[in-house]
Each structure stands twice: as C-alpha cells, then as structure tokens.
Amino acid sequence: MGDLVVAVDVGTTSARAGVFAADGTCLARAEHPIRLHRPREGEAEHESEDIWRAVCAGVREARRLADVAPERIAGIAFDATCSLVLRDRDGAPVTVSVTGQAACDTIVWLDHRAVAEAAECTATGHRVLDAIGGVMSPEMQVPKLMWLKRHLPHSWARAGLIFDLADFLAWKATGSEARSVCTLVCKWTYLAHEAEGWQRDFLRAVGLDDLLQKGGLPAHASAVADDLGPLSPAAAEALGLTTRCRVGAGMIDAHAGALGVIGALARGASGSTAMWR
C-alpha cells in the first residue's frame, strides 16, 4: 500500500518534482529544464512533449534520490503555468506557431500576441469580466484562442483537444479529459458558482461559439484534487511509477503555491514548501 505522494510543479523554464510523506516532509526533489521558443517579439511557445519528458525525468530522479520503491507512491498531481496546449482529436500536437513548427503546440502564459483580442473581450462588458477584475488580460486563454482561430485557421480546424497546461499533464497521465475548476475559472471565463458554467452568449460574442466542441471541454469542471483515475500503463512506465498510483486534478502554479504556503502556516511548519524556495 502506498504511503507517499509525488507533486509536480511546471514553471516557465523547468519542471520540478518532489516526493512527500503524509505529514508534508519532502524526501527528495529534482528539476529538469524545458525549452522556451521566442519566434517573434511578444510571443513565447513551448513543446508540450518536451514538458512531459522533463516531468517524467524529474519524477524518476526524485524517486531515485528518495530511495523509495515505485509501489510506495500512492498519488501524483500536477500544477503548472497557465499555458495553452493545442492537440487534435487523436491527441497529436497542433502548432500554435507562425513558424509552423509542429512540435510548438503550447502558447506560454507570458505570451502577449493577443493584446487586441483581449481588448475586444473587455469591450463586450459581459458579466464574465466581473470575476476577473473587469478587464481581460492577454495572458488569459480566451483572447489567445481568438488569436489562434483568426491567425492560424488551419490549426484551429485541426483542434480537438485544448488544455490548460496542468490539465494537459493530467490527461497525459491518465487519458482523462477532465478539467480543473482552478484552470477554467481563472483563465477560461468559466463561472463555477452558476448552474451553467460556460457562458455561451459571451463565447458567441467573441467568435468562439465552437470552443467547447473544438477544445473537448466538459460541461462541468472537476474540483481540485478530484481522483481522475490511475496512471495509464504508458504514463506509469514513463514516470517510473505503477498503475496503482492515482492522479489528482491539478491547479495553476501560483494558486498551488499560495495553497501550500497557507497550509504550511496553518500547521506551523515549512516542510511542504521548502522544496520550491
């Protein structure tokens, strides 16, 4: 029976993994770099497969350093930057780059190509803006999706799965197309406090009436830490774990960090956050 968990944090230039005991003690950590592409001013892209490789390398190394058997890892979860991953319905990468480079399927959170589209969203005055401070940022997903549909129509035509990065990692680990309430509320204008979270009139107003179908998006979001199922055989092998390891719905990195700090302060301890300092 597993008594340990693995936490994975994906930032802008690296992926970090840690092995933790139930009391929050970090037994070991490891970090691996990820590539960042800057094709034009204001644009930044990742390769999601490169990120997954870094995650897997980090998890394997952290477990090796902790000197624990794979069977002891009961669960794993991912937090990540609010970057946007584009895949086709078969799960293959779809380019988000003006270069056409197929592997570049992820728009990085800091990318500002969609400034004009963000302004259009703000100009709608729609009530979804009330939940995000009244102004749409180009670092949110809706304006980036608008930009993709307008400027890379061939990529939009191929799209069948669109993820926030944390949800992509959970999908790679399990095959589940669930989405975290954290990612959808914070970056996709999903209103979790309402019976119908997706505001279809807003999506129509900004030209994304086909988003739910093109993105493979669920009608309802999953709560943070919801059990999304076990690791798939392929993911278990890549991560150096077992298919008995369960995967929890993840979070955006900043929110995960805040939760970790608050949790540590509440316990009067710092072990659960020390690995990220």
Within 10 Å of residue 172's Cβ, how many Cβ atoms?
26
Other beta carbons less than 10 A from residue 161's beta carbon: 21
Nearest to 125 by CA among 180, 59, 179, 201: 201
CB 39 within 8 A of CB 187: no
State the residue range of the domain holding 80.
Answer: 4-276
CA 100-31-225 angle, to 5 degrees, is 85
d(CA 46, CA 34): 8
The three-state secondary structure class of 243 is: coil
At residue 266, the pLDDT reads 77
CATH number, residue 199? 3.30.420.40
pLDDT of residue 265: 80
Supply the pLDDT for residue 142: 98
What are 70-84's pLDDT values in tens digits? 999 999 999 999 999
Residue 79: burial class (beta carbons within 10 Å; 0-12, 13-18, 19+): buried
Domain count, the chain: 1
Nearby residues of 103 by Cβ (< 8 Å), 6 or more positions away: 47, 49, 50, 93, 95
Please, which residues have CB within 8 angstroms of residue 17's CB and are 6 or more apart in sequence? 6, 7, 8, 9, 29, 30, 31, 55, 58, 59, 61, 62
Q: Is 53 helix (H, G, I), strand (E, B) or coil?
A: helix
Reported as a single tens digit per residue, the pLDDT across 153-166 is 999 999 999 999 99
For residue 143, the number of C-alpha atoms closer than 13 Å in the C-beta half-sphere is: 23
Quote the tokens at residue 191: 């209103």
pTM listed for this prediction? 0.95
Q: Please state the φ and ψ torsions of residue 77, each to the nearest 5 degrees.
A: -150, 160
Per-residue pLDDT of the chain in tens (277 residues, 90 and over written 9):
799 999 999 999 999 999 999 988 999 999 999 999 999 999 999 999 999 999 999 999 999 999 999 999 999 999 999 999 999 999 999 999 999 999 999 999 999 999 999 999 999 999 999 999 999 999 999 999 999 999 999 999 999 999 999 999 999 999 999 999 999 999 999 999 999 999 999 999 999 999 999 999 999 999 999 999 999 999 999 999 999 999 999 999 999 988 888 877 877 754 444 333 3
Structure-block tokens of residue 213: 């179908």
What is the dihedral angle through the alpha carbons of 56, 12, 137, 179, rounded to the nearest 10 degrees?
10
Q: Are strands 73-80 and 246-252 parallel, antiparallel or unpaired?
A: parallel
